[in-house]
Structure 1
């Protein structure tokens, strides 16, 4: 993607962006899915809290090792020269959420139930559509806008700091 102050410009900012998105996503998507699956209760909420740290590690690894590289190869096939920032961001979110929701529909079930079984495959399409919908809207309306806001603030701070130094 071209240089944009709402996106990371270097590896350090990339890590900050990933941390903001992943922490928001794991702390909202997992509890929402658990509420939809099991209903809301304090016990279910505490069960979700017990697995969130493991899910966060899994999400970060999947983003860095699977979804990021795969989406990075797919984006140029779909993005045109004249496509604007919002179109690129929307496509990026769509592709990332698709890849991650497919993988996490399976892996998340295994982590949540604490055993590997065929269960996530037996109910895959029902679960995946629901999980995709929850994740897509959280990413689109909450996690990504907050992370882009953080990037914009970081870049504005760097710009004002550079102006002060140059005077």
Structure 2
């Protein structure tokens, strides 16, 4: 999959790919989750915008140091050699979103409240399943396709320049 036009092919493209996905994800998933928790309103949306930079930083650190290495190990264990591109992408999304939503369900409210409050763990599993569902569909239908389209566009332009 390294030479797939829809995926990053060097570290610089990898950073761009991660930035696109993370920015799109945080700016859609967080407002939806907060809206479902507190109600959908302009005031709640504005409150969400205030915490998004902190949630985004936490997300990047989480992905870089925990999720990416662990998801890579699990991906190699479960992905078949003959699996197609879409099957591999879907497995990657499921693994990453599962881990990210698990951890962010715990630390997301801490970031939003500005304090460590273990009361949020009382309803962890119903909240996590809801958060996973929201994040999974945003990743599958919105964030990842846009990032892959950007990568494909970059690679097409590079090929046209060299031709």
Shorter chain as denominator, the TM-score bin is over 0.9
1:3, distance to aligned residue in structure 2 (A): 1.9
Corresponding residue number in structure 1 for 2:41:
41
Which residue of 1 is the match for residue 29 of structure 2? Answer: 29
Give the aligned partner of residue 8 of structure 2: 8
User: Structure 1 stretches (4+) deviating beyond 4 angstroms?
Assistant: none
Q: Secondary structure at the match of 1:123?
A: helix
Q: Secondary structure at the match of 2:159?
A: helix
Mapped to 1, the partners of 2:2 and 2:61 lie a distance apart of 25
Return the TM-score normalized by structure 2.
Answer: 0.98
Query: How far apart are 1:120 and its partner, in Å?
Result: 2.2
Segments of 5+ residues of structure 2 without an aligned counterpart are none
Q: Which runs of 5+ in 1 are unaligned?
A: none
* Coordinate RMSD, CA, aligned: 0.8
Q: Distance in 2 between matches of 1:122 and 1:138?
A: 26
1:9-158 mapped onto 2 (5 Å cutoff): 9-158=9-158
TM-score by length of 1: 0.96
- Number of matched residues? 163
How far, CA to CA, are the matches of 2:123 and 2:109 in structure 1?
Answer: 11
Higher radius of gyration, 1 or 2: 1
